[in-house]
Structure 1
Amino acid sequence: MRGHKVTSFDVARRAGVSRAAVSRTFTPNASVSPETREKVIKAAKELGYRVNYLARSLINRRSDFVGVVAAGMDNPFRAMQIEQITKSLVRRNFRPILLPADQGESADHVMNQLLHYNVSGVLVTSDAPPTALCAEFAAAGVPIVLINKADTIPSVDRVISDNAAAGRLAATTLVEAGARRLAVVAAAAPSYTARCRQQAFVSACYSMQVEARVISVAVNDYDHGVAAAERLEGADGVFCVNDYMACGLIDGLRRKGNGAAEAIRVIGHDDIPQAAWSAYELTTIRQPSDLQAEQAINLLVSRMDEPSTPERVETTPVTLVRRRTA
């Protein structure tokens, strides 16, 4: 069939079955006998047939596509998170479309692209599109779940890590390790998670009558962690609101020399793979990206089935992972 675009009709003719049988074979969870499935798969392979899922979505008015919008892709935690989300979507017979959104830039063009794919839903990670744009999509009937974002939007569900517990846990762990002059390193804006962790940390220190100061940086990333190491004069315990920045801070302390890296206890957040490396052995607070992905997709599927359900919030628990740095 050189020069001819193979269709489901061609597959049906080769397999000796109906076109409906071909459609059911390539539809997840559809009823089709093993014998028919085998015939159809064999014919499809022989003809080089591939299902046009985009065309199918236009016909069915609902696709298997789910948009995943993420910013801060340089952060190893984001890579972990996206991997868990996309794997979980595929296990449930959805097809993820990943669209990166740069922090601080308009995400309108990114979100609008999703409409062209007739997506069944959208998952939005922290620091990605603004509230107003998410609200527009929800109003248009596109199910959306926000992960680690603060804003309450009608008909939009959220999954939020227990940031308050994380801040308190970091403070108590440092104090129990003997630190008394504490600092927290966090970006002043726009991260909701960073603000929550910072505020809970400072509040916990205050309740324990322990000194705590805030070292504000522009972005919660490695480079700003390195720079923050120059501003820790007098501190003996530090909480970085993510591991990516904590690794930078540890390397910054090493560059200073004079035993600075050994003199200051450091705790991070997220438990990225690098935290366990022998170069860091970072004590951290684990945010389980696998559980978070399941929570978000459960909410999304539920919203697809029951669009009028009031907005919901689920909290992802955190746990301390103790290593050498605290």
Structure 2
Amino acid sequence: MRPRETSGGARELRRVTSFDVARAAGVSRAAVSRAFTPDASVSKKTREKVYQAAKELGYRVNYLARSLTNKRSDLVGLVAAGLDNPFRTRQLDHLARALIARNYRPILLPTSKEVDTSTVIGQLLHYAVSGVIVTSDAPPSHICEECAAEGVPIVLVNKGEDFAFVDRVVSDDRMSGYTAAEHLLAAGAKRLGVIAGTAVSYTARRRAEAFRSRCSMLGAETQLIPVALNDYQHGRDVAPQLLDLGIDGVFSVNDYMTCGVLDGLVSAGNGDGSVKVIGHDDIPQASWSAYELTTFLQPADLQAEQVVDLLISRMAEPDAVARVEFTPVTLIKRRSA
């Protein structure tokens, strides 16, 4: 903003425009536009002159106004639920950073089980977003079709639904389920269990199914301990049930819930490590001395790059067949198992 005199002698602020910058830098308005457009053709000398003039005048690019001209903004919607889970906040942090590194600007829309994902995505379409990344419930098919018709790509993260023109990035849950079973048996566990809210989470269901399948292959008895939600409190509440069932080795499908399981075991008087526990995600709390949790690293940084690569590729090839990429996992061994 720059001040200007009014008829009464007062000074008011006027928004600095690209025309002002062009005049001050001695270049065309088109040159100003190119200078602020990543990868646009403009000489280093011209770009420096424009940046210096913009700095002196206090100019900022109006990206929303630019979207009216380009018919598409550089905004990318991030639709997410479960923000109390430390892995989800880490996941969103890496997704946002990956988008910014590609000159896109993330816009977060939190959602929940009570909110229709299609409503949230519909709100994003009003802002001419360049794409949508969904880490909460997968949207219904009609909203995916609407996005495809408007040229707005969607990438789903850790979701199982298949939609035309919608790409997915999925953690290698089969590997984690198999490896968890093998590791618990190798550690001496005899009666195994898996804690999972399979009705509310695709990843929970996949990990539990893989774990039980591998146990069956190895001739090991296993028990599914269902929970309503895969969160800390439900993990803590279900811990005494493990003792009642005589389970001495358990796979809990995310670390957030697993921390609750470990605290619940301590509260039940069984914090001696006789129940071996494995989690998933390697959240920061997993390495705390109170937990020292054996878990699977789900690399959020790598996953974010996979997601953004698919999103940008879909922008360039909107009619390509739907693709699925898997994020590898690594077992991190600590005291709990």
TM band (smaller chain): over 0.9
Tell me the equivalent position of 1:145. Answer: 155
Q: For each residue in 1:45-76, what CA deviation from the matched residue of structure 2 results, as whole angstroms up to 9, or x when unmatched?
A: 12111111111111011221111111111100
Aligned positions of 1:214-233 closer than 5 A: 214-232=224-242, 233=244
Q: For each residue in 1:4-63, what CA deviation from the matched residue of structure 2 results, as whole angstroms up to 9, or x when unmatched?
A: 121100111111111011101110111222221122111111211111111111101122
Tell me the equivalent position of 1:9. Answer: 19
What is the CA–CA distance in structure 2 between the aligned matches of 1:66 and 1:88, rounded to whole Å?
A: 11
Which of the residues 260, 264, 270 maps onto 1:248? 260
Tell me the equivalent position of 1:160. Answer: 170
**1:207 aligns to 2:217 (yes or no):** yes
In the alignment, residue 270 of structure 1 is paired with which amino acid?
D
| Count of paired positions | 325
Seen in structure 2, the aligned counterparts of structure 1 residues 128 and 312 have a Cα distance that, compared at 3 Å, is closer
Overall identity of the aligned pairs, in %: 61
Q: Could you tell me whether the CA contact under 8 Å between 2:79 and 2:136 is conserved in 1? A: no
Q: For each residue in 1:142-189, what CA deviation from the matched residue of structure 2 results, as whole angstroms up to 9, or x when unmatched?
A: 111111110110011111111111111111110000001111000032
Using the TM superposition, give the Cα deviation of residue 130 of structure 1 relative to its aligned residue in structure 2, in angstroms: 4.2
Using the TM superposition, give the Cα deviation of residue 260 of structure 1 relative to its aligned residue in structure 2, in angstroms: 4.2
**1:188 aligns to 2:181 (yes or no):** no
In the alignment, residue 161 of structure 2 is paired with which amino acid?
D
Q: What SS does structure 2 have at the residue aligned with 1:262?
A: coil
Q: Could you tell me whether the CA contact under 8 Å between 1:222 and 1:248 is conserved in 2? A: yes
* Aligned-residue RMSD, C-alpha: 1.4
Q: For each residue in 1:74-98, what CA deviation from the matched residue of structure 2 results, as whole angstroms up to 9, or x when unmatched?
A: 1000011111111111111111111
Rg comparison, structure with higher value: 2
Seen in structure 2, the aligned counterparts of structure 1 residues 95 and 321 have a Cα distance that, compared at 3 Å, is same
Q: What SS does structure 2 have at the residue aligned with 1:269?
A: coil
Which of the residues 41, 50, 55 maps onto 2:65? 55
Tell me the equivalent position of 1:77. Answer: 87
Seen in structure 2, the aligned counterparts of structure 1 residues 274 and 132 have a Cα distance that, compared at 3 Å, is farther
In the alignment, residue 235 of structure 1 is paired with which amino acid?
I
Unaligned runs of 5+ in 1: none
Q: Could you tell me whether the CA contact under 8 Å between 1:101 and 1:128 is conserved in 2? A: no
Seen in structure 2, the aligned counterparts of structure 1 residues 21 and 142 have a Cα distance that, compared at 3 Å, is same
Tell me the equivalent position of 2:78. Answer: 68
Which of the residues 315, 323, 327 maps onto 1:316? 327
Q: For each residue in 1:79-138, what CA deviation from the matched residue of structure 2 results, as whole angstroms up to 9, or x when unmatched?
A: 111111111111111111111111342123321221121111111114354454334323
Aligned positions of 1:35-114 closer than 5 A: 35-114=45-124
What is the CA–CA distance in structure 2 between the aligned matches of 1:13 and 1:221, rounded to whole Å?
A: 58
What is the CA–CA distance in structure 2 between the aligned matches of 1:167 and 1:132, rounded to whole Å?
A: 33
Which of the residues 167, 175, 184 maps onto 1:174? 184
What is the CA–CA distance in structure 1 between the aligned matches of 2:141 and 2:248, rounded to whole Å?
A: 38
Q: When the two structures are superposed, what TM-score results if normalisation uses the length of structure 1?
A: 0.96
What is the CA–CA distance in structure 2 between the aligned matches of 1:253 and 1:19, rounded to whole Å?
A: 67
